[in-house]
Structure 1
Amino acid sequence: MKVLIADDERMVRLSFISMCNELYPGIHEYIEARNGNEMSVLGEKEQPDLAFVDIRMPLMDGLSAIEKLSALCPHTQFIILSGYSDFSYAQKAIQLGARDYLLKPPSLDDIQKIFMQAEVDRSQKITQDNHTFFYETIAQFNAYCIFPALEQDMTGNLSAYIFCVDYKEPEAQKQFYKGLYRNIQQELNPLIHLYYRYCLFHLPEGEICLIIKTPQPSRRPAEILNTISSAFGVPVTTYHLSACSLGEIFDKIISVMDLFSLRIFCGYGGFLDEHKVFALSRKKQLIKLSETVENLQLAYQDRDYIQYEKLLDRLISFPDLSLEKELDWNGMGKYLQHYFHFGQTVDSFASLYQFLVQGKEDMYKISGVNNTPNLTEKVKQYVEEHYMDDIGINTISSLYGITPNYLSKIFHQKEGLRFMDHLTLVRISHAKRLLTASPCLSVNEVAEQIGYRGTRHFSKVFQKLTGQTPSEYRKSKQNP
């Protein structure tokens, strides 16, 4: 703790500090004041946790100094240290907010009791103050989201930090956010004893938001949080915002939430100052570009070939060469290499497009599908071997790591008919063979052996394609 001793006698001050050091060697910081005026100046500047004050001092007495500092030092606990046992002094001191009254010379036991109780009171008050700050901030943020024009009355040295995590699996990302939340909380809890106040909560899409109020401007929280963010094995983009009022900090938080997609162009996976984000020109154009790149990444992960090609075509219309020098291509490179399975330098719109074209080719390689003809031949071969099973477009597309829509489109383009029509033709062809070569099989058994689960539907399809029922077809082949 920071301890102020105000007494006009030097030996009293030195003796008191010596006794404190005997009890708590090297633990507390001591500040000396020779009179009430010095006490007022030093108290306001140093904001002590504990102040031992003599009543009778030159220039300004102890009671007057306490009265003056009570409003300026809200966290300070005042203890009267006097040689006068007059009850009126004690009564006046208590009225002014002094916590205790010690007669000179105090004993070691007296001092120890004061310090122990002061530490308990300080810890409880600090914890309660931070809880109050948390609940007030959350309440005001929720109110702001509904009524942005509502005036926010909290002022001071305020900062906000928003943590945006990129993780390939959504469920794993949720768990990562939980771990990050705990780490931030553990690192910040010791700071509340330095009269820092913080509020940690999740934004609607899961990102972590931290609002901190400090006694004076400080880089310490930023340094701690930067260390936390960089310690993880996945990209964590951290936005740093600052303001003098809660309303202003809320404005900036909402603005940054609308610009999250821009992180890939202005410091992906790093520590971003607000000026770097807000200074970007033509934000609307860049947001569209960023969202297109993000959607390409999602299509790549889902192996959605059709969507990927559509987005790739759309990307051609975006590039504006005048923006190239403004963007952080190093961050873009980190983003792409995090989600794609290959490395390639990206330092311009042209190289970005080439990278994403490579992404399309990479999808085919991963799926074991090198070209469209091979794909359709593989599908036809699979149908020929499994026509009797319960198969469909979803079953086969999953085998090759592609979407049903993409397979359906490619198959129709190459073969000139829909996949289900091809499957039906294969099944009916085998039905004809069985009806002719295996007269002992009933129509129902033939239907089951070629993948149909009901005679009625099989007969309907068979007649539609051949002009005959299965029984009529069998008779016609037996009696040519």
Structure 2
Amino acid sequence: MKIVIADDEYYVRIGLVKMLEEILTEEYSIIEVENGHQVLDKIREIQPNVVFLDIKMPRMSGLEAFQQAYGLSPETQWIVISGYADFEYARKALQLGAVDYLLKPVSPEQLELITADIRKRMLAQTEVRCSTFKQNLTAVFNRTLSLRTLPEGHELKQLSYVPILFALDRYVEKGQHSEELTGWYTEMENAVQQLNNRSLRAALVVVPGGTVGIMLGWDREDEHTEQWVMQSAYGKINKVLGRLSGGSLGFYALAGEPCAGLQELEAHIAIIEAALLIKALLARNDLIRWKELSGLVGTLSKEAREWSRALVELADTYRKKDYYRYVMFSRGIGSFLDKGYDSLPIQARNHAGSFLNNALSTGTDPREKSLPDAAAWRQLLERGEKELLRDTEGSTDMIDRVVEYIERNYAEDIGVAGVAEIFSITPNYLSSLFHKKTGSTFVKYVTHLRIAKAKELLAGHDLQVQEVAAAVGFNSPKHFAKLFKEHSGSYPSEFRAELRAK
């Protein structure tokens, strides 16, 4: 809280200072002045939260100073100090916008009541400012508010910004960490509210790419606040992140560079969101500054970045128990272990090992468990594959998708080897699961489906037998006729004749 005490009597000023020191519990600074001209100077210089203003002062009265300064700092709260004989002046100041008055001699009880009211007013101002900032930013990000239509004096055009983006781990089912997720958002909202003040605006929003982030904004000319953001605000956010780092819900937090305007902010956000794709190589549950991140990214090859993205995809497929895609990504990761793993910075290797341990739910603390070498990586990947294979053998989801594929493509040249390749599993494994699910071999199922479709065509169309054969996927009319007789007890032409006879 920034306070100005304006009174030409030294002992009045000293008395107010001492009483405020006893009353105030928050951070504060108090500046003393003794005439109206000095009041105007301080209003222009620091835009204080509160001015305790004596009505009668030499050179320029308090009332004159108030009338000239009121528009320079609209959010400043003015408390008029007067004697009984000067109360009409105080009344006029209240009519002009002063929020309250104190009668001399000021008592501690009076001052404490006034101070409590000031806090409430400041909180209300901050809440309105915070809400407006968040609403305007959200509207810009959602494209319901255009930068082109904003007037030049609009707040959003006067600010510099810093984005802090978060990527949450998705590897614990929602039902398991819904309370943690709710707690995370609550803690971050509380942190945002604590950061908001007259100089700094903060909002927890969803940015255009769908990522959750905190946007910090301050007046572009306010170098002091920018320094405070880079030093203290980051520290306060990191302290909150530290409190949230003990549970199963993990997160990655990237703090960007200061941006001179909204267009630069949106461009920088897109870059940070792209960087979050390599989160597997980053420290979990910690705030990473842009200089540190850009330094790491600069050392990575294209293959290393793709490998990191593959780790993220692999973790997602493991959570979804998607065996065939897991195997596909696992093979790609294994290939990089042979070719480029040793070129990664040691810290990135450690973070990646912790990421995989956490993603595959090893039951270890991911902050302490990394993978020492490529052999340990392969062992963990293989273990994950075996676990999914065991789960998949009791699951029918993949075979349902195979059946859907067959029903859409039965007229094409499909076989077990080709379908297995599409679904990234071995032909033997597909055949085993398919038989277990359907009670039929793959070939018999396709043949039965083709014959059933052929019967529909023979019954409802005048197509020749060879045309029907081609329409359901048989290249040879003779082979079609033979299989049709085996399944139906008659040749296609006989089947049609019997239907027409009925």
Same fold per superposition (TM over 0.5): yes
SS at 1:154's partner residue?
helix
Task: Measure, in 2, the Cα distance between the counterparts of 1:149 and 1:174.
Answer: 40
Structure 1 partner of 2:174: 171
Q: 2:311 aligns with which of 272, 290, 293?
A: 293
Structure 2 matches for 1:247-286, cutoff 5 A? 247=262, 248-279=264-295, 280-281=297-298, 285-286=303-304
Structure 2 partner of 1:221: 233
Q: 1:98-143: CA deviations, max 9, x gaps?
A: 3345554456776566445434433322222222112122122223
Structure 2 matches for 1:284-433, cutoff 5 A? 285-302=303-320, 304-315=322-333, 316=335, 319=339, 324-325=344-345, 328-340=348-360, 345-346=370-371, 351-352=373-374, 355-356=377-378, 358-364=380-386, 367=389, 409-411=427-429, 420-421=440-441
Q: 1:245-296: CA deviations, max 9, x gaps?
A: 4413332222222332112223344321122334423676554322222223
Residues 85 and 346 (structure 1), Cα distance of their counterparts in 2 relative to 1, 3 Å cut: same
The answer on whether the counterparts of 1:300 and 1:360 sit within 8 Å (CA) in structure 2 is no
Residues 104 and 257 (structure 1), Cα distance of their counterparts in 2 relative to 1, 3 Å cut: same
Which one-letter code corresponds to 1:213 in the other structure?
Answer: G
Task: Measure, in 1, the Cα distance between the counterparts of 2:355 and 2:212.
Answer: 20
Task: Measure, in 2, the Cα distance between the counterparts of 1:394 and 1:115.
Answer: 69
Structure 1 partner of 2:474: none
Q: 1:236 aligns with which of 247, 251, 254?
A: 251
The CA deviation at 1:302 is 4.8
The CA deviation at 1:4 is 2.5
Deviates more, 1:134-143 or 1:118-127: 118-127
Task: Measure, in 1, the Cα distance between the counterparts of 2:278 and 2:144.
Answer: 24
Structure 2 partner of 1:99: 99
Structure 1 partner of 2:477: none
SS at 1:143's partner residue?
coil
Task: Measure, in 1, the Cα distance between the counterparts of 2:444 and 2:8.
Answer: 105
Residues 100 and 252 (structure 1), Cα distance of their counterparts in 2 relative to 1, 3 Å cut: same
Structure 2 partner of 1:158: 161
Task: Measure, in 1, the Cα distance between the counterparts of 2:302 and 2:146.
Answer: 24
Residues 258 and 203 (structure 1), Cα distance of their counterparts in 2 relative to 1, 3 Å cut: same
Residues 393 and 176 (structure 1), Cα distance of their counterparts in 2 relative to 1, 3 Å cut: same
| TM-score, length-scaled by structure 2 | 0.63
The answer on whether the counterparts of 1:55 and 1:82 sit within 8 Å (CA) in structure 2 is yes
Q: 1:207-246: CA deviations, max 9, x gaps?
A: 4211133581234432232233233323211111242544
Structure 1 partner of 2:475: none
Which one-letter code corresponds to 2:203 in the other structure?
Answer: C
Deviates more, 1:286-295 or 1:34-43: 34-43
The answer on whether the counterparts of 2:162 and 2:257 sit within 8 Å (CA) in structure 1 is yes
The answer on whether the counterparts of 1:130 and 1:197 sit within 8 Å (CA) in structure 2 is yes
Residues 91 and 465 (structure 1), Cα distance of their counterparts in 2 relative to 1, 3 Å cut: closer
SS at 2:283's partner residue?
coil
Task: Measure, in 2, the Cα distance between the counterparts of 1:110 and 1:238.
Answer: 46
Q: 1:305-363: CA deviations, max 9, x gaps?
A: 5434433444437955796239722211211111235588547xxx4586146413552
Task: Measure, in 2, the Cα distance between the counterparts of 1:26 and 1:298.
Answer: 48
The answer on whether the counterparts of 2:192 and 2:203 sit within 8 Å (CA) in structure 1 is no
Task: Measure, in 1, the Cα distance between the counterparts of 2:302 and 2:287.
Answer: 23
Q: How high is the sequence identity, in percent, across the aligned residues? A: 19
| TM-score, length-scaled by structure 1 | 0.66
The answer on whether the counterparts of 1:51 and 1:77 sit within 8 Å (CA) in structure 2 is yes
The answer on whether the counterparts of 2:280 and 2:309 sit within 8 Å (CA) in structure 1 is no
The answer on whether the counterparts of 2:90 and 2:101 sit within 8 Å (CA) in structure 1 is no
Query: Tell me, which stretches of 5 or more residues in structure 1 are unaligned?
Result: 370-374, 380-389, 396-401, 426-459, 469-480
Residues 352 and 157 (structure 1), Cα distance of their counterparts in 2 relative to 1, 3 Å cut: farther
Which one-letter code corresponds to 1:162 in the other structure?
Answer: L
SS at 2:308's partner residue?
helix
The CA deviation at 1:464 is 2.1
Structure 1 partner of 2:478: none
Structure 2 partner of 1:184: 188
Deviates more, 1:177-186 or 1:328-337: 177-186
The answer on whether the counterparts of 2:310 and 2:329 sit within 8 Å (CA) in structure 1 is yes
Task: Measure, in 2, the Cα distance between the counterparts of 1:28 and 1:296.
Answer: 49
Task: Measure, in 1, the Cα distance between the counterparts of 2:60 and 2:33.
Answer: 12
**Structure number with bigger Rg:** 1
Which one-letter code corresponds to 1:160 in the other structure?
Answer: P
Which one-letter code corresponds to 1:224 in the other structure?
Answer: K
Query: Tell me, which stretches of 5 or more residues in structure 2 are unaligned?
Result: 219-223, 402-419, 446-481, 491-502
Deviates more, 1:260-269 or 1:337-346: 337-346
Deviates more, 1:279-288 or 1:260-269: 279-288
Residues 368 and 305 (structure 1), Cα distance of their counterparts in 2 relative to 1, 3 Å cut: closer
Residues 190 and 307 (structure 1), Cα distance of their counterparts in 2 relative to 1, 3 Å cut: closer
Task: Measure, in 1, the Cα distance between the counterparts of 2:359 and 2:15.
Answer: 67
SS at 1:420's partner residue?
coil
Task: Measure, in 2, the Cα distance between the counterparts of 1:203 and 1:317.
Answer: 33
Q: 1:385-411: CA deviations, max 9, x gaps?
A: xxxxx9x9669xxxxxx9995777225
The answer on whether the counterparts of 2:167 and 2:252 sit within 8 Å (CA) in structure 1 is yes
Residues 36 and 235 (structure 1), Cα distance of their counterparts in 2 relative to 1, 3 Å cut: same
Task: Measure, in 2, the Cα distance between the counterparts of 1:180 and 1:16.
Answer: 42
Structure 1 partner of 2:57: 57
Which one-letter code corresponds to 1:237 in the other structure?
Answer: Y
The number of residues matched between the two structures is 407
Task: Measure, in 1, the Cα distance between the counterparts of 2:346 and 2:72.
Answer: 47
Deviates more, 1:141-150 or 1:357-366: 141-150
Q: 1:400-442: CA deviations, max 9, x gaps?
A: xx99957772257899x998338979xxxxxxxxxxxxxxxxx
Task: Measure, in 2, the Cα distance between the counterparts of 1:112 and 1:412.
Answer: 78
Structure 2 matches for 1:192-231, cutoff 5 A? 192=196, 196-203=200-207, 207-213=211-217, 216=225, 217-218=228-229, 219-230=231-242, 231=244
Task: Measure, in 2, the Cα distance between the counterparts of 1:209 and 1:405.
Answer: 37
The answer on whether the counterparts of 1:155 and 1:244 sit within 8 Å (CA) in structure 2 is no
